[in-house]
Amino acid sequence: PDQLPTPQPATAYAPSNIALSKYWGKRDKALNLPLNSSLSISLRDWGSTTRISPSSTDEVWFQDRLLPADDPFADKVLRFANRFRRDQMMPLKIETSNTIPTAAGLASSASGFAALTMALVQAFQLDLPDDTVSMFARLGSGSATRSLWHGFARWERGHANDGTDSFARPLEVRWPAFRIAIIPVDTGPKSHSSRDGMNHTVATSPLFGAWPAQAESDCTAIQNAVQDQNFQTLGQLAEANALAMHATMLAARPALSYLKPESWQVLETLWTARHEGLAAFATMDAGANVKLILEASSAADVKAIFPQSRLIAPFDPL
């Protein structure tokens, strides 16, 4: 519309998510169009809440603190809001808070942009289909496409140059016994943003050529395993997919390694335990922390082996 309605106060919550089949590499950097589809599980009550209210001047708050106007995060948030208010003079107060424990060392751009998108859609009373909301969230951060829902979601890479067919949808699967365990390794700020990391990998890694097709076929196989609730197949595929993604980074020039010696120690311990019968698999993202995939029946064993782990039950009622 030419004339947008006056923004209404709005609040939205979005969970963070962990990819079981990874997004790594873009075919369009401005639109965050991926080279391959990806599939995730949302982290239930670990996420972001965003509150938007009309204001006399633009303000961005994070964890109850007003950010200075030149803060890069504040700038990114306001530039994203401009897509909705089309640069018209509609000053907004935007408040975001995360429930992700800092000690877990998880990034929050997925839940942050998903919550921001949902709050803006509400504030401007836009009656948009979910596909379109997911597409908008993608413009903030690729992984935000998958954070609009609880449970499993698949982000379809799409083929159009304008991105109109690149968005996520939830999978109609309830898997109450499914668990994620976060094993914190390093909770400090990461050395390279995932945005820079993936662009560097695409531009310089001689192994990256093998990734898009492998990732696409992994994504479909992982979706089938989720739909069949076949835990062993899902775990094997998800772990292999994550390690293949990290292999493309190790081959980049210069090499990019988000994993630390302690991450590898966790993997060695896991592999030994698995050899002895433990049913758990690992996945790692653009950081040193390790996430385990397991079912409720293995939760006590995982806790005994990794006392520092934090357990998440994605399908428990909130």
Instruction: List contacts with ligand 2P0 (CB under 6 A).
Output: 19, 22-24, 32, 38, 109, 141-143, 194-195, 285-286
Output 22 or 150, the one with its CB closest to ligand 2P0: 22
Residues 6+ apart with CB under 8 A from 192: 200, 256, 258, 286
Output 38 or 248, the one with its CB closest to ligand 2P0: 38
What tokens were used for 27?
């075919």
Residue 122, amino acid: Q
- Report in angstroms how near the CB of residue 21 gets to ligand 2P0 at its nearest: 8
- Report in angstroms how near the CB of residue 78 gets to ligand 2P0 at its nearest: 17
The H or E element containing residue 110 is helix 109-123
Output 37 or 298, the one with its CB closest to ligand 2P0: 37
- Report in angstroms how near the CB of residue 23 gets to ligand 2P0 at its nearest: 3
Output 52 or 215, the one with its CB closest to ligand 2P0: 215
Residues, the chain: 318
In 3D space, the residue among 149, 146, 192, 194 whose CA is nearest the CA of residue 167 turns out to be 146
Residue 88, amino acid: Q
Asked if residues 150 and 15 have their Cβ atoms less than 8 Å apart, the reply is: yes
Output 90 or 312, the one with its CB closest to ligand 2P0: 312
- Report in angstroms how near the CB of residue 91 gets to ligand 2P0 at its nearest: 26
What tokens were used for 191?
């050395």
Residue 67, amino acid: L
Output 38 or 298, the one with its CB closest to ligand 2P0: 38
Asked if residues 314 and 20 have their Cβ atoms less than 8 Å apart, the reply is: no
- Report in angstroms how near the CB of residue 248 gets to ligand 2P0 at its nearest: 11
Q: For residues 86 and 126, give the distance between their C-alpha atoms in angstroms, rounded to a whole number.
A: 14
Output 142 or 184, the one with its CB closest to ligand 2P0: 142
DSSP per position, 111-162: HHHHHHHHHHHHHTT----HHHHHHHHHHH-GGGGGGGSSSEEEE-----TT
Cα-based angle 239, 242, 246 (whole degrees, multiple of 5): 135
- Report in angstroms how near the CB of residue 34 gets to ligand 2P0 at its nearest: 8
Output 105 or 142, the one with its CB closest to ligand 2P0: 142
**Residue whose C-beta lies closest to ligand 2P0:** 142
Burial profile 166-203: b = 16 or more Cβ within 10 angstroms, e = fewer: bbbbbbeeebeebbbbbbbbeeeeeeeebeebbebbbe
